Amino acid sequence: MKKLQDLWKKGTDFLGSEYAILGGAMSWVSERNLVSAISNAGGFGVIACSSMTTDLLRNEIRETKKLTDKPFGVNLIIMHPDLDALVQVCKEEQVTHVVLAGGLPSSKTIKDIKEFGAKVICFAPAFIIGKKLIRSGADALVIEGMEAGGHIGPVATSVLAQEIIPELKNEVPIFVAGGIGRGEAMASYLEMGAAGVQLGTRFVCATESIAHENFKRAFIKAAARNATPSVQIDPDFPVIPVRAIENKATEDFKKVQLRTIAEFNEGKLDKEQAQLQIEHYWAGALRKAVIDGDVENGSLMAGQSVGMVKKEQPISEILDELISQANAYLSEKLPNAA
């Protein structure tokens, strides 16, 4: 007869937060205001470093600390050319938790972070990768399904949870992400043995989010079916699918691929340059939508849980709703677990 606080105790102990709810690191959105609001309300905010320089990251960490005395983390993209320098910034600024995303991190990167006392959280898109990451020293795993927003893998959250949680839950804390928009789903993954969850899309329309009003309005209007994965044009130029609300930018991405592939075929670009040009499309397109409010030509990266985003709300209210829903779900199943 477990209560919510018992179900996610492993996660809250690991994060040092009241709730084992990670804020997904969303480029341009997960900055000091949203991160500190999530942490102040009892969750665990995570700064999205994305393509930041070392100076920008250092400043963002310091500004976040001015807004909260609660724990928060930093998400680093492992393909960043200055990854080692960014890790050094996290060390100097005494970051307690580092999330490594965007591929398979090296054992050296994990070791470098652990050596200054921070906890390392890695993404595991498959059981075998989860095992490898644990052997490399990862302190916790996030398993994120294809329902999530932004860059996605090929497997659904529900399948990943069944594949990974029963096998690895006793080795490291496991956080489930992708398609979670209500407390009932959150509680069900905890019952399976997850240590906590990660939510991104649900927080985009928070009052504290700096996302443009047009961006928020697009989320509130969208249904789950409107958040679709991007299309790959040529198998010789593989792209990691990006889930976003369909708009003109969705079609433009196809044109960018065709134009870039043509330039490669004409000898104007080598393959690596062409691949980078295709991938870089999303970074600029996302800023255009989130910051400038151009929701036609910018990227509206969103998970399928976007259909559950109904209005702009303070972070504290969003978390209260999730907790209330989770407790109600547990009370119905286990009368003594309210």
Q: Give me the chain's average pLDDT, please.
A: 95
Among the residues of the chain, which ranges form H helices? 4-7, 9-15, 32-40, 54-67, 83-92, 107-115, 127-136, 157-168, 183-192, 213-221, 248-265, 271-290, 315-333
Residue ranges making up the domain that contains 236: 223-301
Per this entry, what is the length of the chain? 338
- Among 149-158, 166-175, 233-242, the minimum mean pLDDT is found in 233-242
Do both 40 and 140 map to the same domain?
yes
Maximum distance among all alpha carbons in the chain?
70
Confidence label for 271 from pLDDT (cuts 50, 70 and 90): confident
pLDDT at 275: 81
Q: What are the C-alpha distances in Å from 148 to residues 58, 167, 201, 260, 304? A: 28, 23, 8, 27, 6
Tokens of 26: 């969303």
Confidence label for 284 from pLDDT (cuts 50, 70 and 90): confident
Q: What are the C-alpha distances in Å from 14 to residues 69, 187, 233? A: 17, 18, 42
Instruction: Compute the average pLDDT of residues 122-151.
Output: 97
| Residue 184 domain flag | yes
Spatial separation of the C-alpha atoms in residues 40 and 306, rounded to whole Å: 24
Spatial separation of the C-alpha atoms in residues 264 and 250, rounded to whole Å: 22
Q: What percent of the chain has pLDDT over 70?
A: 98
Instruction: Compute the average pLDDT of residues 275-295.
Output: 88
Do both 238 and 284 map to the same domain?
yes
Do both 202 and 269 map to the same domain?
no
Confidence label for 338 from pLDDT (cuts 50, 70 and 90): very low
Instruction: Compute the average pLDDT of residues 119-124.
Output: 98
| Residue 275 domain flag | yes
| Residue 206 domain flag | yes
Do both 193 and 228 map to the same domain?
no
Confidence label for 334 from pLDDT (cuts 50, 70 and 90): low
Q: Which class for 170: exposed (0-12), middle (13-18), buried (19 or more C-beta within 10 A)?
A: exposed
Shortest CA distance to 198 belongs to which of 15, 2, 7? 15
Q: Say yes or no to pLDDT of 122 above 70.
A: yes
Start-to-end Cα distance in the chain: 9
| Residue 114 domain flag | yes
Within 8 A by CB and 6+ apart from 299, the residues are 242, 244, 249, 282, 285, 286, 288, 289
What is the H or E stretch that residue 197 is in?
Answer: strand 196-199
Confidence label for 240 from pLDDT (cuts 50, 70 and 90): confident
**Cβ distance 325 to 218 under 8 Å?**
no
Q: What is the tens place of the pLDDT at every residue in 293-330?
A: 999 999 999 999 999 999 999 999 999 999 999 999 99
| Residue 97 domain flag | yes
Do both 49 and 84 map to the same domain?
yes
| Residue 185 domain flag | yes
Do both 20 and 66 map to the same domain?
yes
Q: Say yes or no to pLDDT of 156 above 90.
A: yes
Do both 50 and 173 map to the same domain?
yes
CATH of the domain at 23: 3.20.20.70
Do both 196 and 245 map to the same domain?
no
**Cβ distance 243 to 153 under 8 Å?**
no
Q: What is the tens place of the pLDDT at every residue in 60-73?
A: 999 999 999 999 99
- Number of Cβ within 10 Å of residue 29's Cβ equals 24
pLDDT at 76: 98
Do both 203 and 227 map to the same domain?
no
Do both 201 and 272 map to the same domain?
no
Do both 137 and 238 map to the same domain?
no
| Residue 216 domain flag | no
| Residue 257 domain flag | yes
Within 8 A by CB and 6+ apart from 332, the residues are none
Spatial separation of the C-alpha atoms in residues 144 and 152, rounded to whole Å: 8
Residue with tokens 């209260």: 320
pLDDT at 335: 55
Strand bridging mode 196-199 / 21-23: parallel
Q: How many domains does the chain have?
A: 2
Shortest CA distance to 310 belongs to which of 186, 221, 180? 221
Spatial separation of the C-alpha atoms in residues 117 and 154, rounded to whole Å: 34
Q: Say yes or no to pLDDT of 1 above 70.
A: no
| DSSP codes joined into one string, 43-60 | SBEEEE-TT--HHHHHHH
Do both 318 and 296 map to the same domain?
no
